[in-house]
Amino acid sequence: MEVRMAEHLGMCFGVREAIDLALELAQHGRVAILGDLVHNPDVVAEVEAAGAVRVQRPESLQTQTVLLTAHGTANRVKLQLQEDGYQVHDAACPLVKRVHQAVAKLVAEGRHPVIIGQAGHVEVRGLVGDLEEYTIVLHEDDLGQLAGLPRLGIVAQTTQPLERVLELVAMIRSRFPEADLHFIDTVCQPTKDRQTALHELADQCEVVVVVGGPESNNSRKLADLARRLGRPTYQVANAAELQPEWFAGVRVVGLTAGTSTPDPVIRAVQERLKTLG
């Protein structure tokens, strides 16, 4: 069985920088990570093995050094931690910080902020954490919340499929033609590159394997896209999750991975697929 790799796949620069920062801080003493540094179990295990402690709430902190996750954090959380005497380090991806800046710009223009994204996702929680009012939309049924709002400012969670984001923006324009609307495309380039590469890969294979943790939004979106492109698709966190029966009679399998997936995990899946073939 031939294994074909997507042209763009795997860990992005923002995740790499966050991991490097976490490992560096852990070398100099105890550090607590507020939440999951990134959504990948292998990365979480590596960072914890280096001595970092993961906590889910500020009140659980027991170290003076605190690292904020790659997904971004509301400014009010950072300021409160600093006021409480913690040494705060921010591992937020620069492209996530760009979304925070875009939201602030739209609010400064007097627009109601609209976030296209997954409510409850840590990145989206960080984006809305400093806002007095906002609306999160992900499906057409969510758009009714925007009725009567005269000025709208729209951004997107960085890992949303660009095609879907543009569809929702078009729906909003069509449904509320009287609204003054400003859309800023904040889907990150690594996400776009991996989605484009998957389109090309799907034309070359019979089955697609997406390597990414179960909590990884961009990995799930890659798997959803592959299925929409008509390919049987399996998302796995590591090589151990591959099942031989998935590839019975398959001649060519396509392999891609989310932006938080480490290179060694991708290589292990690639080698396992070769043995299954």
* Residues annotated as part of the active site: 123
Which residues lie closer than 8 Å to 254 by C-beta, 6 or more apart?
A: 4, 5, 6, 198, 201, 202, 204, 205, 207, 208, 209, 226, 231
- Beta sheet of 233-236, edge-to-edge order: 2-5, 252-257, 207-211, 233-236
Phi-psi label, residue 47: left if phi above 0, alpha if psi -120 to 50, beta otherwise: alpha
Quick one: the chain helix, strand, coil %, rounded to 5? Answer: 45, 20, 35
Neighbours of 125 (CB within 10 A): 19
In whole angstroms, give the CA distance from residue 125 to residue 68. Answer: 13
- Looking at the chain, the number of H-run helices and the number of E-run strands are 9, 12
Count of CA atoms in the C-beta half-sphere (13 A) of 6: 30
Degrees, nearest 5: CA angle 8-194-235 = 105
In whole angstroms, give the CA distance from residue 61 to residue 57. Answer: 7
Q: Are 19 and 259 a contacting pair, CB within 8 Å?
A: no
Which residues lie closer than 8 Å to 170 by C-beta, 6 or more apart?
A: none
